[in-house]
A and B are shown apart, each in its own frame.
Chain A
Amino acid sequence: MAYQEFDFNVNSPEAKPANRQKVIQLLRIAMVVALITVVEFIFAYTVPKGMMLYSIFGLLTMLKAGFIIWEFMHLGYEHKVLKWAVIFPTVVFLAWLAVALVGSEGPTLLEETGRTDGVNVVEQSE
């Protein structure tokens, strides 16, 4: 934080009005995030369940997350090293977990446990 001169008019709103341009930009981003949520909501009602729908949801979620991190958390305007120190480990970790556990391990468990046909395993062994 750079050294700041003492400002005698700190508490008078006329002295330092809100940065209109910045505020409008922030509100616009918030509107986009809210709109994406509305779109997701509509999709949940209208598009039949399946891989297609889940991929759309995944993409829209990433988009929302991107807006929040980049603009609200201001990461997009930080120093390059800080940006990558935050994003790189998180994305690598998440991608690995998603592929290894949700993509491969889960479906294997589904087969191995014999739940595939929707019959209770305990009941079946009885």
Chain B
Amino acid sequence: MSSKAAVTTDSAEDLWAGGKAPMKASYGKLMMWFFLVSDAFTFAGLLTAYGLIRSSYPSYPAETLIPDIFVPSENYWPVPEEVFTAVPFLHGVKLPLVFVALMSFILILSSVTMVLAVEAGHRRNKKDVEKWLLWTIVGGLTFLGCQAWEWSHFIHGTETGMVVKRLVDGQWIEQLIHGANLSYNEYGPQAFGQLFFFITGFHGFHVFSGIVLLVIIFYNVTVGIYEKRGHYEMVEKVGLYWHFVDLVWVFVFTLFYLI
């Protein structure tokens, strides 16, 4: 390759050095997409595992699902309306799915602010990028905080708990259990708690790493790295990841809290 060619294609990292960007996308953006596809496979595997185990358990008969006389059992897959009923500061008030719906809105909202940050990056408006990135970070942290509360409530459980039969020293005894961990939970079969911890935990970890990425690019924007580089494409790439996290939550929401 002559030095002349290298000089004429100086912009944008030689457009992948061949003078043409494959699929009309930059290298970084394309790799982010491929990473997201592989990550989507991981989540697809986890969520179908949930679907498989869920469909291998019977549902509660309709006549047992009357709110006040409902008794949880290990033999049926739990109904979300009876498991996720708590809202912070409203102890003892049963508000099915209200808190998770709020969490969904927070995540959707943070996706919106992320889109606005990307849009501000397109017109190279540093101040706007900073502003919207900060709001996105706030949204992400709020979501994580909500999830921490949700987990803590799930682990501690309700005051009523559930009565289970256990074989201890050759004798069937009845035990009252509260809350959930990896070996039992008061909401239903063991697998329910395990799947809940694993899948929402894996998603929460994605939110966490998203926040770390956002903080890094927020720093870079503030010190003017992308200004010097001439474009804010990094904001776009991290934006892709952030929307993906929102996308996964849409599926987690449906599977865990609706079906």
Contacts and interface: CB of A to CB of B under 8 A. Distances in A.
Interface of A: 1-4, 6-7, 10-11, 13, 16, 18-19, 22-23, 26-27, 30, 33-34, 37-38, 40-41, 44-45, 48-49, 54, 57-58, 60-61, 64-65, 68-69, 72-73, 78-79, 81-82, 85-86, 89-90, 93-94, 97-98, 101-103, 105-107, 109-110, 113, 115-120, 122-123, 126
Interface stretch (B125-133, B152-160, B205-213): B125-133
A109 B56 contact: yes
Interface in B45-81: 45, 48-49, 51-59, 61-62, 65, 73-76, 79-81
Given A2-B11, A30-B112, A115-B75, A110 B23 contact: no
B17 interface: no
B76 A118 contact: yes
B58 A117 contact: yes
A11 B125 contact: yes
B55 A110 contact: yes
A116 B119 contact: no
A78 B24 contact: yes
Contacts, number: 185
B231 A106 contact: no
A23 B123 CA distance: 13
Main secondary structure of the interface of B (DSSP, over half): helix
A98 B48 contact: yes
A65 B247 contact: yes
Given A2-B11, A57-B259, A26 B116 contact: yes
Contact of B126 (A4, A11, A34): A11
B33 A11 contact: no
A68 B243 contact: yes
11 contacts: A2-B12, A10-B126, A18-B125, A19-B123, A48-B62, A65-B251, A68-B246, A73-B240, A90-B40, A102-B48, A110-B57
A106 B51 contact: yes
A75 to B, nearest CB: 8
Interface residues of B, number: 76
Contacts of B239: 73
Nearest to A17: B123
Given A10-B124, A113-B56, A78 B41 contact: no
Nearest to B232: A1
Nearest to A71: B115
A38 B101 CA distance: 8
Contacts of B115: 26, 30, 72
Interface in B71-124: 73-76, 79-81, 96-97, 101, 104-105, 108-109, 111-112, 114-116, 119-120, 122-124
A101 B48 contact: yes
A26 B119 contact: yes
Contacts of A65: 247, 250-251
A110 B62 CA distance: 18
Interface string B226-259: 0100110100000110011011001101100111
A123 to B, nearest CB: 6
Contact of A13 (B79, B125, B231, B253): B125
